[in-house]
Amino acid sequence: MTEHEDAREPVVVLGGTGRVGAAVVDELTRRGRQAVVVSRGRPPSRGPLVEHRTGDVHDLAPALAGTRPRAVVLAVTPFTAPPADLDGFDGDFYVRVVDQLASLLPLGARVVHVGVTAIARLDDGGAVADHEDLFPASLRPFSDAHARGAEALREAPLDGTVLIPAAGLGMQDATSDAHPVLLPEPLTIADATAPVDHAVLARAVVDQLDVAGSDQRWLVRAPGLPLQVSD
């Protein structure tokens, strides 16, 4: 995609009013790019570069009507905080979103999916979700839903990349101007549990929009020392 096309082509940010999505929208507009934010709630105006469309990821067609976006950020979660239980949670939540994107977007459209640390594959042969000291077993269905969504994206006729935030997301300075560090799996526990702030994660997401990267998964962490992992 050329710079000229960048300026004309809005990036669709699903969940663009959330903590991660809003940081992505801020980073897009900081770079002079347009964003179309899709969420159920209507946020205050974010300026001339940002259009808000009220919509639900369970049925994206109305919100995307009249557009054929070539770049989409998926930053949606049904749980803004860890729920007491996952009764009634649809384990195919993310698969259904990816399936809709595959049918609504042009072939090969770029999709950057913000995943969850729990799906990260570790150098001990397991995933973060296998470590109960790092991720509560009760939330496993949520992690599995993310993992299935990532797999669906890999198989979809889209140019998909999953960015997995390190477990320390939001645990340090929220306005850091550090450059993100992207690491391939398998990962050390120290890297998987490292800090990363929302601005750094957002920088990684926006960087990835213009990089062809089908089937890739990266852990995103801030540079520097890892957090101390408690026993």
Ligand X SMILES: NC(=O)c1ccc[n+]([C@@H]2O[C@H](COP(=O)([O-])OP(=O)(O)OC[C@H]3O[C@@H](n4cnc5c(N)ncnc54)[C@H](OP(=O)(O)O)[C@@H]3O)[C@@H](O)[C@H]2O)c1
- Kindly state whether residue 39 participates in binding ligand X, applying the rule CB under 6 A: yes
Applying CB under 6 A, which of residues 80, 175, 228, 230 lies at the interface with ligand X?
Answer: 80
Count H helices and E strands in the chain, helices first: 7, 10
- Kindly state whether residue 155 participates in binding ligand X, applying the rule CB under 6 A: no
- Kindly state whether residue 208 participates in binding ligand X, applying the rule CB under 6 A: no
- Kindly state whether residue 78 participates in binding ligand X, applying the rule CB under 6 A: yes
Q: What is the dihedral of CA 156, 49, 59, 166, to 10 degrees?
A: 60
Asked if 225 contacts 204 with a C-beta cutoff of 8 angstroms, the reply is: no
- The least distance separating ligand X from the CB of residue 40, rounded to whole angstroms, comes to 3
**Per-residue burial over 108-144, b = 16 or more CB atoms within 10 Å of its CB, e = otherwise:** ebbbbbbbbbbbbbbeeeebbbbbeebbeeebbebbb
Applying CB under 6 A, which of residues 10, 21, 180, 195 lies at the interface with ligand X?
Answer: 21
d(CA 73, CA 209): 8
- Kindly state whether residue 75 participates in binding ligand X, applying the rule CB under 6 A: yes
**Binding segment for ligand X among 25-33, 69-77, 177-185, 212-220 (CB under 6 A)?**
69-77
DSSP 141-186: HHHHHHHHHHHHHHHSSSEEEEEEE-TEETSS-TT--PPPEEEPSS
- Kindly state whether residue 204 participates in binding ligand X, applying the rule CB under 6 A: no
- Kindly state whether residue 150 participates in binding ligand X, applying the rule CB under 6 A: no
- Kindly state whether residue 149 participates in binding ligand X, applying the rule CB under 6 A: no
Applying CB under 6 A, which of residues 15, 160, 180, 195 lies at the interface with ligand X?
Answer: 15
- The least distance separating ligand X from the CB of residue 4, rounded to whole angstroms, comes to 30
Residue closest to ligand X, measured at CB: 18
Phi-psi label, residue 170: left if phi above 0, alpha if psi -120 to 50, beta otherwise? left
Encoded amino acid at 141, one letter: P
**Binding segment for ligand X among 113-121, 131-139, 154-162, 185-193 (CB under 6 A)?**
113-121
d(CA 161, CA 112): 5
Q: Which residues bind ligand X (CB under 6 A)?
A: 15, 17-21, 39-41, 56-58, 75-78, 80, 114, 116-117, 165, 167, 169
